[in-house]
């Protein structure tokens, strides 16, 4: 691990992105004998796994460039229920026991390819009036999330066995897969939330070239 570098980390489930940064900073600081400068280039939700680009030292000045790169995810979406957070950590609500046929799922997924409008989840790291949206939401405050334009470059159905839809999706920066899952459920009329999420690529950076973060070593 070097002072001015780009690190590809495979984040495990259950850890925050800031936790990843803290562990890398501690390890690098021990190696350098001084406090290291470490940053990330885009968060992953705690339940999610996969590729994070971590920058250290002088490379931190380029964090914004990396954060704007497009990304590839693999996700599992559960139909029939909704979650208050759009993921397994939220309060679940039964919505429907209707079972869409495969052709319906394929047709609806196709509607999301291209430039679309998304409303990011209130439980996200987006700042609203200088505060993280998820912190406001946890306080019970009403949060108005701004609609944003994002691009879905490609969306492939990996498997569908009700109630689970497994997809691979190539998206622009700023796209929320939790929101994509919820919107899929709305169009199908079943409700939906994201149960598993893994980021496998950031532009040409691949999860295959990453290092699995072992908390015991950091």
Same fold flag, 6-68+203-217 and 71-202: yes
Q: Where are the domains of the chain?
A: 6-68+203-217, 71-202
Contact 153, 70 (CB under 8 A): yes
- In this structure, what DSSP letter does residue 86 have? S
Cα–Cα–Cα angle for 39, 63, 73, rounded to 5 degrees: 90
Q: Residue 167: its pLDDT value, please?
A: 98
45 given a catalytic annotation: yes
CATH class, domain 71-202, is alpha beta
Q: Residue 121: its pLDDT value, please?
A: 75
CATH number, domain 6-68+203-217, options 3.40.225.10, 3.40.640.10, 3.30.2350.10, 3.30.420.40: 3.30.2350.10
Q: Residue 134: its pLDDT value, please?
A: 64
Q: Residue 119: its pLDDT value, please?
A: 87
Per-residue pLDDT of the chain (218 residues; tens, 9 = 90+): 777 899 999 999 999 999 999 999 999 999 888 999 999 998 899 999 999 999 999 999 999 999 999 999 999 999 999 999 999 999 999 999 999 999 999 999 999 999 999 988 766 666 666 666 666 666 666 667 778 999 999 999 999 999 999 999 999 999 999 999 999 999 999 999 999 999 999 999 999 999 998 766 55
Please pick, among 10, 45, 87, 183, the residue that the annotation labels catalytic. 45
Q: Residue 71: its pLDDT value, please?
A: 98
Q: Residue 145: its pLDDT value, please?
A: 74
- Name the pTM for this structure: 0.90
Query: Mapped to the 3 state alphabet, what secondary structure does 43-78 carry?
Result: CCCCCCEEEEEEEEHHHHHHHHHHHCCCEEEEEEEE
């Amino acid at each position: 691990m070097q002072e001015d570098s780009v690190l590809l980390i495979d984040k495990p489930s259950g850890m925050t992105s800031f936790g990843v940064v803290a562990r890398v900073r501690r390890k690098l600081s021990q190696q350098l004998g001084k406090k290291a400068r470490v940053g990330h280039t885009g968060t992953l939700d705690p339940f999610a796994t996969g590729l994070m680009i971590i920058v250290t030292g002088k490379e931190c000045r380029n964090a914004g460039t990396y954060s704007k790169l497009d990304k590839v995810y693999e996700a599992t979406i559960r139909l029939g229920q909704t979650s208050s957070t759009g993921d397994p950590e939220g309060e679940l609500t039964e919505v429907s026991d209707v079972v869409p046929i495969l052709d319906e799922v394929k047709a609806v997924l196709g509607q999301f390819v291209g430039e679309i409008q998304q409303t990011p989840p209130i439980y996200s790291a987006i700042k609203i009036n200088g505060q993280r949206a998820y912190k406001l939401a946890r306080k019970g405050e009403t949060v108005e999330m701004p609609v944003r334009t994002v691009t879905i470059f490609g969306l492939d159905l990996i498997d569908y066995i009700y109630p689970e839809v497994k997809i691979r999706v190539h998206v622009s920066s700023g796209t929320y897969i939790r929101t994509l899952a919820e919107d899929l459920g709305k169009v199908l009329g079943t409700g939906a939330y994201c149960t598993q999420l893994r980021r496998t690529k950031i532009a040409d950076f691949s999860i295959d070239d990453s290092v699995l973060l072992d908390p015991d070593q950091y």
